[in-house]
Structure 1
């Protein structure tokens, strides 16, 4: 390294000394490699190749590189967010101690360590500078450790970074003090021109997209003389990148990084315990989640507002078809059919909210990894925020249908009709939330949901009377654990009890609603309709509790499933001679002389092993 590099920390604390003084969260990574296994005959792809680095309190580490260089992959590796089909080797240490990559809950619940993926993306220069300046204040004044990827910062923004990690094709081009980076490039033969932004120059050296520009400049007679003097135009980007990578690997800059990692590892730090829940109180979590969820539901036209319009249109169609059915003999079948459609098909339309549920579950999974809130707070807030929309949907459509069909007059009967519809819709919403948690695929989830709701409709007592259902399985227990049978029984009792209908033959005895329910529909009238309604809301509670346990079991089982998947993948890959050879070459370093099988390397973890 050039003269004066040995005193790079003169006048300032070294990273290790800063860590020892502040006692914050340090992060080191050694020989970090991420591999994407090939499948279907495709070759194995190395996403990261033997990276070394560190992050200490009070300093910002900027990860730079062209698109596809591995910036996001490195961030995912450090924070434990790699995709499950990516294998990771090497050591990632927090405060000098090995962890199971469970930083997610630490990041936002105890923000000593922050990972940021291109926080200035889409901002103008002034806004980007303001963001990074705020981060720098957080780092210095708050003693926080910040690791951030950045695409192409301005010179003002670049000057705010303390350490630079420059990547290209998954390899380290440079890691160290950002102020020393221009000196390294100059020593390698690619000095930064005085009027050029250093970050632009670094990316110019490792971005192959500039090869076309270099070819055009070489073909220009006017600029050919200047091109001959520019070292960046003498070599291809691949040649420049190889020279930089090779030079850095044997340079004092790389040695300084390894020495710093060693010094940090020797300092006994306070172990950061992952916070399993948010520091906010449960009530605050519930209020915040309910408000946010309500705003999202209101702003998303397709979430509820479009469905409310469809329900109203469907109610108008239903009301015009069954308009003023009366009390004739044929009205018995008409009333039963209308009630069956409302209890069955109108609740079935709640399946339209499944796409929104899928997107919501993605957000929930990410925020649960960060430990923002508890599962119970999320489920209750989802129920509370959706209640106004579901009530509007149910009461609006019930008002139209009930008065156009002229069901049994009286507000209490109408209120039961509307609550019965609301309960059925809410149960289906809960069911679809369970399915979205189990099957996070739009098409498969939609098919599964439609199938389950179809079974609920078949056992409701409309298509075949409940007493005639096969007793094994279909009647006991299926008809008792689905909403359809309870909803339909309550609807029949609410409308028919107390009414009289014309007989099938003139002059015969009028048919009472009790006779119709008991003899023609095979239902019991020995208990109140309100018990049927109560059973729907008990099922709603049971479905929500089931949703809670599905999410908890899924969280608990996920690490074990991912570990099993990783072990299976490793064993499969170790049968390939080419993979073993490439892995052995990657594991060679100054500190590790003898290669050994991947499965035995220290630090091999499932990439999604977080909790």
Structure 2
């Protein structure tokens, strides 16, 4: 992990003071830095060493890097593929929890070493992938980011003013009411999405912004416009912005104040963009006229295509050595060995909302998504409606003759099992939510608890609506127990079934946040529950391993039992009469056999099910426990997967 001791750093105004020796003093300064101006951000002797997978020997992927950036500056982090740009950005942003290796060096703000918490209180990280809710408009996207980051005392008027200001600053006023875009509905263009992604992070009032390939996937014009807006905001609000960027155009390159050029994890240049030509001319590598400087520099330090690293005259090694021996490098090392005094300003993000307040904001956002986005719940409503029509017409008006006992039982199994199985349609929506959560959590906006609360609450009314709609169609078409109490219990069991199934989807998707993997694992789990729920293989026949390990935690088993009791506990069935003996032949013996009838409880007895109210209450309690367990496990998974 990064060195916890204090190190000196660059001074925004060129003044120097004595180096700080007391570690505890630095920790105290870290805790209240957000109440002061961020005048400089620097790093000293930063390196990353990992083990080679084959040889198990240590490999240095980032080597002794130095840098210093002043407020209001935009830094370009450039280098060929595999040069260490993303690693460098992650180390500077303290996003190293998933990084396997040894990290050395000191990351400083205003000359003081800062821990992860202090960095995240004043910074934001915009990832290369646009993790946004596709159905929200541009204004809503920025507004929800503002609501999640601002304290509850901020007037709504001030919040909306800041949102509109950023929308205008990034040239999105015409697209303010346009949705981001979903697979089913076209929205913003690629360049507009990138600008919106940055704007939604800047509204959280950071002092330090890390951008990972902000122009990725954009053409030359869109890249220039995107970086122009970013530069304007940096100058206007005195921000420090560090952006990894791949081969910018000449005009885009000139928008940056400073350049850090990396290759093979080593620094080839760090300094003002305006001084690039003079430096490389001085070391004998002049930038030709009428050539894009960025393109030339990337080609100069690229070893993947034809460069001979062993050549002393034209090698990358020469460029590395020239930088290490340069006056600029020595001056940079000296500047990161001094400290400065803090300059008070307004706080960045010192006041945090309560868990319930954040959950309420997330619930509002989820509500908008739930009724606008067909993928969230609309598709599932149509799917369940189609399934209800199919089931109701296939099992149409079954009679209460003993020949219908098995069809009724099959219908109960089919209804509960497939209602649960079709919850896999929720996978795309929850993965989108999890991606947004990962981004917002990494930027310090909120943690797993409000996310789980908001996600759980938004599903309840929709799932209840689905359960009622499905039941109205299937229950009466199929001629199930024709009582109001029977219908209400049927709805209850389907509702609990859907709640458990959605909890399972959230848990699996939290563990495997990849669409194909989450879909496959959820489908497998539902297949397992179908096999051991007591219908396909009766409990008396089920292998003890599957019975005791899986059956008793199978929510489908309790749904099937509950629906069976609901159908057979108070119903009477007709038997056939033998033409030869003139005696009734009943499939299930009961006390009504002499009357040519079957008491429904005889069917339950054959399945070894109890039918008392106390037993039904116990099953309902177990269902609630399973539903709660899925949500708690999902929460714990997110807690353990901290980025």
Q: TM-score, normalised by structure 2?
A: 0.67
> Is the 2:260–2:270 Cα contact (8 Å) retained in structure 1?
yes
Corresponding residue number in structure 2 for 1:378: 451
Structure 1 residues 6-17: aligned runs within 5 Å: 13-14=13-14
- In the aligned structure 2, how far is the partner of 1:468 from the partner of 1:128? 66
> Is the 1:427–1:539 Cα contact (8 Å) retained in structure 2?
yes
Corresponding residue number in structure 2 for 1:31: 45
- In the aligned structure 1, how far is the partner of 2:16 from the partner of 2:411? 76
Q: CA-atom RMSD, angstroms?
A: 4.4
Report whether the alignment pairs 1:180 with 2:275: yes
Distance change (3 Å), C-alpha of 1:163 and 1:42: same
Corresponding residue number in structure 1 for 2:572: 500
- In the aligned structure 2, how far is the partner of 1:518 from the partner of 1:455? 25
Q: 2:90 aligns with which of 76, 94, 115?
A: 76
- In the aligned structure 2, how far is the partner of 1:443 from the partner of 1:160? 41
Local SS of the residue matching 1:67 = coil
In the TM superposition, residue 115 of structure 1 has moved relative to its aligned partner by: 0.7
In the TM superposition, residue 153 of structure 1 has moved relative to its aligned partner by: 3.3
Corresponding residue number in structure 1 for 2:507: 434
Structure 1 residues 329-368: aligned runs within 5 Å: 329-351=402-424, 353-354=426-427, 357=430, 360-368=433-441
In the TM superposition, residue 473 of structure 1 has moved relative to its aligned partner by: 10
CA deviation string 1:380-438 (max 9, x = no partner): 22224444654455444434432332212356644442342232122022123223334
Local SS of the residue matching 1:111 = coil
- In the aligned structure 1, how far is the partner of 2:14 from the partner of 2:290? 30
In the TM superposition, residue 328 of structure 1 has moved relative to its aligned partner by: 0.2
Corresponding residue number in structure 1 for 2:248: 153
- In the aligned structure 2, how far is the partner of 1:351 from the partner of 1:30? 49
Local SS of the residue matching 2:359 = helix
Corresponding residue number in structure 2 for 1:51: 65
Local SS of the residue matching 1:324 = coil
Report whether the alignment pairs 1:510 with 2:526: no
Local SS of the residue matching 2:106 = strand
Corresponding residue number in structure 2 for 1:404: 477
Distance change (3 Å), C-alpha of 1:94 and 1:273: farther
- In the aligned structure 2, how far is the partner of 1:162 from the partner of 1:324? 77
Distance change (3 Å), C-alpha of 1:442 and 1:238: farther
- In the aligned structure 2, how far is the partner of 1:187 from the partner of 1:50? 23
In the TM superposition, residue 442 of structure 1 has moved relative to its aligned partner by: 6.8
- In the aligned structure 2, how far is the partner of 1:237 from the partner of 1:525? 89
Local SS of the residue matching 2:262 = strand
Local SS of the residue matching 1:263 = coil
Corresponding residue number in structure 1 for 2:399: 326
Q: TM-score, normalised by structure 1?
A: 0.71
Corresponding residue number in structure 1 for 2:294: 199
In the TM superposition, residue 75 of structure 1 has moved relative to its aligned partner by: 0.5
- In the aligned structure 1, how far is the partner of 2:16 from the partner of 2:363? 44
Q: 1:491 aligns with which of 556, 563, 568?
A: 563
Structure 2, unaligned runs of 5 or more? 1-9, 18-32, 125-148, 150-204, 578-583, 585-593
CA deviation string 1:321-376 (max 9, x = no partner): 42222100122232222112222343134345456655654543343222222322
- In the aligned structure 2, how far is the partner of 1:449 from the partner of 1:290? 25
- In the aligned structure 2, how far is the partner of 1:278 from the partner of 1:412? 51
Distance change (3 Å), C-alpha of 1:205 and 1:134: same
Report whether the alignment pairs 1:190 with 2:206: no
In the TM superposition, residue 502 of structure 1 has moved relative to its aligned partner by: 0.8
- In the aligned structure 2, how far is the partner of 1:106 from the partner of 1:430? 35
Report whether the alignment pairs 1:116 with 2:188: no
In the TM superposition, residue 60 of structure 1 has moved relative to its aligned partner by: 2.0
> Is the 2:43–2:68 Cα contact (8 Å) retained in structure 1?
yes
